Chains A and B, each alone.
Chain A
Amino acid sequence: MFLLLLRTQMKSNRYIISGVAVWLIQLLLADLLAIKTVRPDFLAILILYWAIKYGRLHGTVSGFLIGILIDLSGTASFFGLSPLLYSITGYLSGNLKGAYSKLNPFYFSLAWVGILGLQFFIFCIVQYQDILYIDPRLFWMKWLGTTLYTFCFAGILQVIYPFHRLEPC
């Protein structure tokens, strides 16, 4: 019983430590990697990894908590948008738990790319609603820029630690 508790404790500690570490990286280092005003979103990638490893429930809860943390780290408008977006990402990505062996790798990749793309699309449609009305081309460029930059880092991580190496828990 004690060993089981200890194991659970260690598992949750690892969960919290990795979350805090990525949040700190995002908070302190993402600005150094910024291209103009666009920065990579490491926390979205983390939620994707967690949700694919642990499933929908963990994905949704961690997405919501990390979203709250993001908004508390300084947002001017739409406080509450990040928990909404990251919960959706966590929930949708959770459906991919254990799906790598069942799905064609191409469709699997398409699924997580689509989920991240959707997250950034909702973000852009809320944050740049004016630009969509004034200059739709500029809006799509903004969405593409924000999305592609995070995809670059997700792609690099795929080479180092691909999703199919994640063992479903």
Chain B
Amino acid sequence: MRNLYLAIVKNRDHVIFIFALLFSSYILLNNDNPRMGVIRGKSAEIVAFISSPMTWVKSLLFLEEENHLLREKNVVLSLQVESMLNLQKENDQLQTMLDFKHQTTLLLQPAHVVNKGIQPNLLSIIIDVGTDDNVHPNQPVLTSKGIIGKTIETGKNASIVQLISDVNYRLSVRILPSGATGILRWLGDNQAQIREVQKNVDISIGDKIITSGFSDIYPAGLPVGQVAGVYDERGSFQKILHATLPNDMSAFQYVFVVIENSNEIE
């Protein structure tokens, strides 16, 4: 026994190293443990609190630029509203004719990005809303341009968001106007790949990509991106698509969490 103790003391560097490797592997293999989720939620709150002064300074820096962009967008939107009003009139008339009303309501919770993690690559963010704001794990997160990720851990007033750039992220999408569906995964630099698309469907570059709705998390119709390339896989019944994602992953400050989705068909 004494010899064993002496051997451990003598080789403590190696013993500690092996212990560190085993313990890290244990944590790595128990990622889904609910107790781990509680700890991560709490730590996200602490990080959000520490990061808040820096976030405030950053938002001040971006304020002028953002104001300019918003004014520009306001003009564009006003023009669009005019044409939309005309289109709505026409749509109402057509719907009355069909006796069909389809209403989609999404309840969005705006959030501020307080931290983008400290790993050498951007794979997750922390936002300043949590269970107090009705935000729970597995809710879609998007910007005004499109889907950016989903919540995975929530604290009382902070949540961790798994970004579309994470290796474990997949999204079921639909390509318009063909209606073909596929599974999207991130490739890098606002590029993504869509697999499992039927070969006989007609798809062109520039086609719109939206969420398919074949998911418990993402409602149908959320914008995702545009088709940038169509490739036929030899010896397979599937097509491979390359897509451009509209969000600049390195520069976004505000996001929206879809906290409620009700599709009602009356």
Do the two chains belong together in a single complex?
yes
- Which A-chain residue is minimally distant from B159 (CB atoms)? A74
Q: For the complex, is B154 an interface residue (Cβ under 8 Å from A)?
A: no
Q: Are B188 and A28 in contact (CB-based, < 8 A)?
A: no
**Which of chain A's residues 40-93 have a Cβ closer than 8 Å to chain B?**
40-41, 43-44, 55-57, 60-61, 63-64, 67, 70, 72-84, 87-88, 91
Also in contact, A73 and B188, with CB within 8 A (given A28-B54, A80-B27): no
Q: Tell me, in angstroms, the Cα distance from A138 to B126 when the chains sit together.
A: 27
Q: Are A94 and B40 in contact (CB-based, < 8 A)?
A: no
Also in contact, A64 and B24, with CB within 8 A (given A37-B121, A74-B47, A79-B40): yes
**Which of chain A's residues 120-162 have a Cβ closer than 8 Å to chain B?**
120, 123, 126-131, 134-135, 138, 142, 146, 149-150
**Which of chain B's residues 36-78 have a Cβ closer than 8 Å to chain A?**
36, 39-40, 43-44, 47, 50-51, 54
Q: Are A82 and B119 in contact (CB-based, < 8 A)?
A: yes
Q: For the complex, is B85 an interface residue (Cβ under 8 Å from A)?
A: no
Also in contact, A27 and B120, with CB within 8 A (given A57-B16, A73-B47, A80-B28): no
Q: How far is the CB of A65 from chain B (nearest CB, A)?
A: 9
Q: Are A131 and B187 in contact (CB-based, < 8 A)?
A: yes
Q: Are B120 and A120 in contact (CB-based, < 8 A)?
A: yes
Q: How far is the CB of B21 from chain A (nearest CB, A)?
A: 6
Q: For the complex, is A39 an interface residue (Cβ under 8 Å from B)?
A: yes
Also in contact, A74 and B13, with CB within 8 A (given A30-B118, A84-B21): no
Q: Which of A27, A76, A94, A150 is in CB contact (< 8 Å) with B166?
A: A76
Question: Footprint of A on B, CB under 8 Å?
Answer: 12-13, 16-17, 20-21, 23-31, 36, 39-40, 43-44, 47, 50-51, 54, 115-126, 149, 152, 160-163, 165-168, 185, 187-189, 193, 249-250
What 10 A-B pairs come out closest when comparing CB atoms?
A: A80-B27, A80-B28, A76-B162, A84-B24, A76-B124, A37-B122, A72-B43, A87-B20, A56-B13, A74-B117
Question: Footprint of B on A, CB under 8 Å?
Answer: 23-24, 26-31, 34, 36-41, 43-44, 55-57, 60-61, 63-64, 67, 70, 72-84, 87-88, 91, 94, 120, 123, 126-131, 134-135, 138, 142, 146, 149-150
